């Protein structure tokens, strides 16, 4: 699944791959699978098959050894997308019992969560998380289309009864009077047909837990679009906790006056009940209302997904990066501060719009004892506002000590990235979105070990599976970048050039250690 495991460490255990510091430089291109539109989701690899979806709404199953298509499925959605129709990374799990048992793939697409048979691509179940009721949705589609998306990647936990519990967020892109955004728990129920049953929805706009199917659309047409969840939840089954971060709000003053959620926060919930255990809002420590609102209008979303890990002293913590390039570490049980690291320069372009900081999630380098040695991550586009900002603007990739908050090392040679960092056997892999390349660094020192161009600009995570490395390519413009102009301009591009001007470089690229490469 996204982040490798439920805790989103992005770290492969020793012994899972031969790729290491000593031989990473021998990674060579193995194959490229072309798709019609961008792939920014991270591949999921299971039993020799790679699963990933693209921005045009096509989901692919590809032979991981040779790059040939096994099957594809096109999701059916008329939803308006701010990004692509599929940006969510998939989870692959064994579901059901007896004759119903099968391997399934679960991902977000449009405003829905989809479940497909991993062997055949047959649709088994889907559920729409759009917070609008049917009447409002029909009215909106005719006169005022709104954006509702499941960009979040589902975390799937098999409970003691063998039932698969799915945790996933969704986003309304700061639009008011749509409905309340948040995090949802679903149960996958095998049968004829299979079903996705809503258990609870945590309404991040109002900090309330709503139960059952009715909770999905409670508050339809209300709310200020605050608290969007476009990052992916991490789960600690041992403590029954799910952790995630929320987005900024375009209507912070109105939300503040209404005593609802007006700014980004880290949230920890009980997995069974959806009850809030704790939350942390960074700007809450600021002394004045004006300062708190100014911070809330900085678009410093918790865009990176939460990492759950154990510190060297045995303390269990949750870490998460924000779009202002700050990485926060809090105690898992209480939310108490452990460390805070200013790990680079923010990329605030204007009020309520930023393009930098932690957008892709950092990876956690784990030691032989399973405890965190360091956190390593790349950031997006830095925008310095004064001379003192210039130094931090060159911190392309950095490693930090999560216990003390001190920075271990900095790499200044890479360019900005929207991708997450993955770690295996002392090697950190970073996809360089703006250099169209993938970079390997020594996780202990930051020393460059390998740099390889890729066919198109990658925002996907470089995923290690066995002795191979896989990533999606083809980052392109989004609907959000046309807001200041018009939808007509975007349609002109699509009608004349196809789904994307970068379509020729969209796809899946694979690398393999030289002795195993094709």
Look up residue 500 and give its two tokens.
Answer: 């994307």
Which residues contact residue 37 at a Cβ distance below 8 angstroms, ignoring those fewer than 6 apart? Answer: 54, 55, 56, 58, 84, 474, 499, 500, 503, 506
What's the structural domain count of the chain?
1
pLDDT in tens, 153-202: 999 999 888 899 999 999 998 889 999 999 999 999 999 899 999 999 99
- CA quadruple 398, 399, 403, 406: dihedral positive or negative? negative
Q: How many beta carbons lie within 10 A of that of residue 273, not counting itself?
A: 15
pTM as predicted = 0.94
Q: State in Å, rounded, how far the first CA of the chain is from the last one.
A: 26
Q: Which two tokens stand for residue 451?
A: 């740099």
Q: Categorize the per-residue pLDDT at 477 as very low, low, confident or very high, splitting at 50, 70 and 90.
A: low
Q: Where are the beta strands (DSSP E) in 81-240?
A: 91-95, 102-109, 112-117, 123-128, 155-158, 164-170, 182-189, 195-203, 208-211, 234-236
Asked if residue 120 lies in contact with residue 128, where contact means CB atoms within 8 angstroms, the answer is: no
**In a domain? residue 480:** yes
Element (H, E) at 310: strand 307-310
Q: Measured in whole angstroms, how far is the alpha carbon of residue 434 from the centre of its chain?
A: 19
Whether 333 maps to a domain, the answer reads: yes
Task: Tell me whether strands 164-170 and 155-158 are parallel, antiparallel or unpaired.
Answer: antiparallel
Is 6 inside any structural domain? no
The reply to whether 292 falls in a domain is yes
**In this structure, is residue 19 part of a structural domain?**
yes
Using pLDDT thresholds of 50, 70 and 90, give the confidence band for residue 145. confident
The strand order across the sheet containing 507-513 reads 27-34, 507-513, 468-473, 463-465
Write out pLDDT tens, residues 202-247: 999 999 999 999 999 999 999 999 999 999 999 999 999 999 999 9
CB-CB contact of 323 with 379 (8 Å): no
Q: What is the mean pLDDT of residues 404-427?
A: 96
At 476, is the secondary structure helix, strand, or coil? coil
User: Would you state the torsion angle of the CA atoms of residues 103, 420, 63, 81, taken in this order, to the nearest 10 degrees?
Assistant: 80
DSSP H or E run through 494: helix 487-497
Contact 307/365 with Cβ under 8 angstroms?
A: no
287 found inside a domain = yes
Round to whole Å and give the CA distance between 224 and 28: 49
pLDDT at 98 over 80: yes
Least confident of 40-44, 245-249, 306-310: 245-249
Q: What is the mean pLDDT of residues 103-130?
A: 97
Which token pair is 239? 């403590």
Expressed as residue numbers, the domain containing 329 is 11-516
Residue 131 lies in a domain: yes
Of 499, 452, 491, residue with least CA distance to 474: 499
Quote the pLDDT of residue 54.
96
pLDDT grade, residue 475 (50/70/90)? confident
Confirm whether 3 is domain-assigned.
Answer: no
Provide the CATH number for the domain around residue 245: 2.140.10.10
């Amino acid at each position: 699944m996204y982040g490798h495991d439920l805790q989103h460490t992005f770290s492969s255990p020793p012994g899972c791959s031969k790729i290491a510091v000593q031989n990473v430089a021998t990674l060579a291109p193995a194959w490229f699978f072309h798709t019609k539109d961008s792939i920014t989701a991270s591949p999921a690899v299971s039993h020799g098959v790679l699963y990933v979806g693209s921005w045009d709404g096509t989901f692919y199953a590809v032979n991981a050894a040779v790059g040939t298509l096994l099957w594809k499925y096109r999701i059916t959605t008329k939803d308006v997308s701010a990004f692509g129709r599929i940006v969510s990374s998939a989870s692959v799990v064994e579901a059901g019992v007896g004759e119903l048992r099968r391997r399934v793939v679960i991902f977000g697409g449009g405003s829905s969560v989809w479940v497909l048979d991993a062997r055949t691509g047959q649709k088994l179940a889907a559920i729409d998380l759009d917070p609008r009721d049917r009447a409002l949705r029909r009215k909106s589609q005719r006169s005022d289309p709104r954006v509702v998306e499941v960009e979040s990647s589902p975390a799937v936990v098999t409970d003691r009864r063998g039932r698969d519990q799915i945790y996933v967020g969704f986003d309304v892109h700061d639009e008011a009077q749509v409905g309340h955004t948040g995090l949802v728990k679903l149960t996958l129920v095998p049968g004829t047909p299979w079903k996705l049953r809503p258990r609870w929805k945590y309404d991040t706009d109002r900090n309330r837990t709503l139960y059952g199917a009715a909770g999905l659309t409670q508050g339809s047409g209300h709310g200020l679009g605050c608290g969007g969840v476009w990052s992916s939840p991490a789960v600690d089954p041992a403590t029954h906790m799910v952790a995630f971060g929320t987005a900024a709000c375009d209507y912070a003053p109105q939300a503040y006056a209404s005593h609802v959620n007006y700014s980004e926060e880290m949230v920890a919930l009980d997995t069974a009940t959806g009850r809030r255990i704790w939350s942390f809002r960074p700007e809450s420590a600021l002394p004045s209302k004006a300062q708190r609102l100014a911070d809330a209008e900085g678009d410093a979303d918790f865009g990176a997904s939460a990492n759950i890990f154990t510190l060297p002293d045995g303390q269990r913590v949750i870490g998460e990066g924000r779009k202002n390039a700050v990485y926060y570490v809090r105690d898992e049980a209480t939310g108490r501060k452990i460390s805070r690291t200013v790990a680079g320069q923010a990329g605030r372009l204007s009020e309520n719009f930023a393009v930098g900081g932690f957008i892709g999630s950092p990876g956690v380098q784990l030691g032989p004892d399973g405890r965190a040695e360091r956190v390593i991550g790349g950031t997006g586009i830095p925008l310095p506002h004064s001379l003192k900002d210039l130094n931090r603007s060159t911190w392309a990739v950095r490693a930090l000590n999560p216990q003390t908050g001190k920075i271990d090392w900095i790499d200044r040679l890479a360019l900005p990235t929207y991708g997450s960092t993955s770690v295996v056997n002392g090697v950190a892999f970073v996809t360089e979105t703006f250099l169209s390349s993938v970079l390997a660094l020594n996780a202990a020192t930051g020393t460059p070990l390998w740099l390889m161009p890729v066919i198109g600009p990658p925002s996907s995570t470089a995923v290690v599976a066995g002795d191979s490395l896989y990533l999606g390519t083809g980052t392109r413009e989004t609907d959000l970048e046309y807001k200041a102009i018009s939808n007509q301009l975007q349609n002109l591009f699509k009608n004349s050039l196809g789904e994307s001007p970068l379509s020729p470089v969209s796809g899946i690229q694979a690398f393999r250690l030289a002795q195993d490469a094709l």
